[in-house]
Amino acid sequence: MALLLLVISFALFYFYMVRAKKGAEISARTFPAVAAIPEAVGRAAEMGKPVYYTTGLGMGTLNNPLNGPQTLAGISILGHVTRLCSRNGVRIDYFTPIVDSLPLVEETMRTAYLMEGNPEGFDTNHIHFQQDQSPYLTASLGYMQRERPASNIMLGGFYYESVVLGEAGNTIGAMQIGGSANTHQLPFLVATCDYTLIMEELYAASAEIAGDPDVLGSLKGEDILKFVVLALLGVGFLLGLANNATLINILRM
Amino acid sequence: MSEVYKRELVFLVAGLVAAVMIVTYFLDIPVLNGLAQQLQVWALIIQLMAIGLGAINLVRVNYRHMQQKTEGLWIFSAWFMVLFAIMLLLGLVGLSTGSENAIYSWVFANVYTSLSSTLYAITGFYIFSAAYRAFRARNIDAAILLIGGVFVILANAPVGAVIWKGFPIIGGWFNISGQVPAMRTFTITGALGLLAYGFRTLLGKESGFYGEAGQ
Amino acid sequence: MSSGNIWDKLQAIDRRVFYWILFIALMIPYLRPIGFPIEINAPAKGIYDELSTVQPGEVCVLSINSGVSAWGDCLPAMVACIRMLAQQDARILVWGMGHTDIDITWQEIMDRSPELKDKVYGEDYAFFGYLPTQETTIALLAEDIRAVFSLDRYSTPIDDLPIMEDVNGADDVRLLLSSDTGDVQGYYIRQWHTKHGTPIGSIGIAMNASGDLPFFLSGDLFGLSGGSRGGAELEQLAGVPGEAITTMDAISVSHLLVVFAIILANVGYFATRGKR
């Protein structure tokens, strides 16, 4: 049953992606956090300060089913932010404890500078790696105190570092944009950041930034699936009231 | 290798691996099970090899700070290099003798883990200052959130029940009837978003996976 | 420049003042314990009830997926559970992932569990050490433990351990406790519980408790210990008072301070709002 649902989901995404590519109009609401990214970079340019960017602990590896995609989504958006920084002459410092993301990040940032016609602007010394959560946190806190970045962008799989980095950013008066799909960190990100991407908004943000119509089509497919889930919940609720476990048994097959 | 093939090759490898892993998760095909196991081992090896990359990055960045005598930073970079060399040597000695080096274990257990715990403890202080700074009833929604939060906080602390028996009851209600449905919603929608993201990645629509910089 | 009234000053207070207030306030219950009564909640009771039904000789697994930094939240509950299982003569397997310091954690658990001193390593309990955090590893463990571990932590071949005589995978395990600071309990729910029906209990940090509660309410977890509170409840239920019960006084003080800070901040906010 799970495989069938997976196939149906993929088919739905593909259907709407093809429709969108053929010209069907699909509109997605603008995420305030995404719209605020140029503002954050602009603020850094005005103040002559760098931008701090991190994708969080992410359980220390890309090879993690829940956090790996969050890190990758954060890296997708990193490309966009790096391009904006290059365009505005702003330094961007990327901090990570995820060792297997380093080649990917390097390539993303290098390509971003290249696409802006500024290949010499890329410096690998702006990619800061510290193995494990505590050294990464200490390094980030020290960086914030020394460099006092104008903007903090924290998008990825976060753990307790979200509240520490968020508060440290508030201490130095940085503009903060955060986002994670880890439910346990959402309250801290919402409390400490000026703009937040919540749960699937983190994944959808990279789609919005890409602006490809077929990518937006997948968001439509996602929304249709949500209606399907709602319908299942409704039917399940009514069956549950009648003490009928048919739907549960079907879903457990 | 041309840029075209670099992207297509990544796409091909990712697609094949994903297909094998998805099929073996749902279906029991002995040949593919063995392949899936091997792929997992390879992923682990690649992940561990990347630690070497991380070490190189660390040494490079800190050496540069030392060389340029970056103000306020170079002394820490120098100290890092000393500690890095010590731990590396101790670890290599342990590796060569086949047993854990006692000094290495002592440093890890008594220095690193203690510092780690200290960092984690900082969270409490930051939450406290965040609570004072951010939890303002700016509108009705924030006010409801605050009131619910206060009840949940006092339900979790034993003193809440001492102050008033209603705190655990009402806090528990907020937890079960308010927080749990919201968490379920987040989990379901997060999973759907993850599914769509994974699908876009497999189709090569997500730039992050391929090291591109998007639009 | 106007000096402002007391509310303006409170709004702009240096956060280091808060840190000192919290630090000093937390000292008090440690120096002079207060002893607030601890009510038992259903999630922690679930762990106790399930552990109480373990029969002598049944194999239980403790997966230590939390590091030393999470000892305050997770260690008391782990100790209480291990002591209960040891008292009931269960066979205990221990392994861990996600944090490289699980050796230290397991040593600490053993030091705090006098019941283990009468037990024989290799027959009553065994420690397998650290393995990298991957859901695929956990899936492999469920099918065949020997596919992941050929040796225990002390380089003894797994087949030389009497405890592993009739244990091959998840089907031979009575229950599994996952001590977590992340998402590993989700891996066990998917790979062990959903596929093999193995009961899973979660011992997590307080941040995880809210996310794990839906799984407890749906029956995917038989019990849930969230933070120090869960540890204190388990210590009380199991009759093995320890660190968590004494920590609860500090928890009470800190929570009261947070509530006080919120109230003060909002009073100041409304007092100064009219001026803006």
The answer to whether the beta carbons of residues C66 and A131 sit under 8 Å apart is no
Question: Tell me, what DSSP letter sits at residue A127?
Answer: E
Structural Rg of chain B based on CA atoms: 26
CB contact (8 A) between residue A59 and residue C186: no
The pLDDT, as a whole number, for residue C276 is 53
Contact pairs from chain A to chain C, CB under 8 Å: 31
Closest CB to A79 among B46, B119, B214: B214
The pLDDT, as a whole number, for residue C4 is 65
CB contact (8 A) between residue B136 and residue C132: no
The answer to whether the beta carbons of residues C56 and B178 sit under 8 Å apart is no
Please tell me if residue B187 touches chain C, with a CB cutoff of 8 Å.
yes
Closest CB to C262 among B21, B121, B131: B131
Please tell me if residue C41 touches chain B, with a CB cutoff of 8 Å.
yes
Tokens of A98: 């995820």
Is B69 a domain residue?
Answer: yes
Please tell me if residue C150 touches chain B, with a CB cutoff of 8 Å.
no
Parent domain of B140: 135-209
- Within this chain, do residues B82 and B152 fall inside the same structural domain, yes or no? no
- Within this chain, do residues B14 and B80 fall inside the same structural domain, yes or no? yes
Amino acid at residue number A246: T
In chain C, DSSP assigns E strands to 59-65, 91-97, 125-131, 175-180, 200-204, 223-226
- Domain termination residue (choose one: B55, B83, B99): B99
CB contact (8 A) between residue C22 and residue B125: yes
What is the dihedral sign for C-alpha C271, C273, C274, C276?
positive
Distance from CA of A57 to the nearest CA of C (A): 11
- Within this chain, do residues B19 and B95 fall inside the same structural domain, yes or no? yes
Residues 6+ apart with CB under 8 A from A70: A55, A56, A58, A156, A157, A180, A181, A182, A202
Tokens of A68: 């790996």
Write out residues 112-171 of B within 8 Å (CB-CB) of C.
112-113, 116-117, 119-121, 124-125, 127-129, 131-133, 135-138, 146, 149-150, 153-154, 156-162, 168
CA distance C148 to C31: 47
Strand, coil or helix: C127: strand
- Within this chain, do residues B85 and B143 fall inside the same structural domain, yes or no? no
Please tell me if residue A59 touches chain C, with a CB cutoff of 8 Å.
yes
Phi-psi region of C98 (alpha: psi -120 to 50; beta: other; left: phi over 0): left
Q: pLDDT tens digits, residue range B72-89? A: 789 989 999 999 999 888
- Within this chain, do residues B145 and B93 fall inside the same structural domain, yes or no? no
Burial class from Cβ neighbours inside 10 Å (0-12, 13-18, 19+) for residue B124 reads middle
Assigned CATH for C42-241: 3.40.50.720
Tokens of A49: 């300060």
Model ipTM value: 0.82
The pLDDT, as a whole number, for residue A177 is 97
CB contact (8 A) between residue B137 and residue C252: no
Strand partners, A51: A92, A151
Phi/psi of residue C176, each to 5°? -130, 135
DSSP letters of C37-53? -----HHHHHHHHHHHT
Strand pairing report for C175-180 and C200-204:
parallel
The pLDDT, as a whole number, for residue C273 is 74
Which residues of B are less than 8 Å from C233 in CB distance?
Answer: none
Distance from CA of A189 to the nearest CA of C (A): 13
CA distance A10 to A22: 18
pTM for the model: 0.87
Is B214 a domain residue?
Answer: no
CA end-to-end distance (rounded Å), chain B: 24
Residues 6+ apart with CB under 8 A from A172: A144, A145, A148, A149
For residue A215, give the nearest of A73, A99, A50, A49 by alpha carbon.
A73
Domain definitions of chain C by residue range = 6-32+251-273, 42-241
Rounded to the nearest angstrom, the gap between the alpha carbon of residue B11 and the centroid of all alpha carbons in its chain is 25
Task: Spell out the alpha helix ranges (H) of B69-174.
Answer: 74-97, 102-107, 113-134, 140-156, 158-163, 166-173
CB contact (8 A) between residue B208 and residue A191: no
CA distance C186 to C182: 9
Phi/psi of residue C240, each to 5°? -125, 70
- Within this chain, do residues B13 and B82 fall inside the same structural domain, yes or no? yes
- Contact partners of C by the rule of 3+ C-beta pairs under 8 A? A, B
Is B192 a domain residue?
Answer: yes
Which residues of B are less than 8 Å from C265 in CB distance?
Answer: 131-133, 135-136
B interface test, pick of C20, C27, C28, C68 with most B CB neighbours within 10 Å:
C68
Number of domains chain B is built from? 2
Q: pLDDT tens digits, residue range A105-134? A: 999 999 999 999 999 999 988 999 988 888
Which residues of C are less than 8 Å from B135 in CB distance?
Answer: 262, 265-266
Query: Along the 276 residues of chain C, how does pLDDT read in single tens digits?
Result: 445 677 777 777 788 888 899 999 989 888 888 888 999 999 999 999 999 999 999 999 999 998 888 888 999 999 999 999 999 999 999 999 877 788 889 999 999 999 999 999 999 999 999 887 678 788 888 988 998 889 999 989 999 999 999 999 999 999 999 998 888 899 999 999 988 999 999 999 988 888 899 999 999 999 999 999 999 999 999 999 888 988 899 999 999 999 998 998 888 888 887 665
Low-confidence ranges of chain A (pLDDT < 50): none
Is B128 a domain residue?
Answer: no
- Within this chain, do residues B80 and B166 fall inside the same structural domain, yes or no? no
Is B91 a domain residue?
Answer: yes
What is the dihedral sign for C-alpha A113, A119, A123, A127?
positive
- Within this chain, do residues B3 and B82 fall inside the same structural domain, yes or no? yes
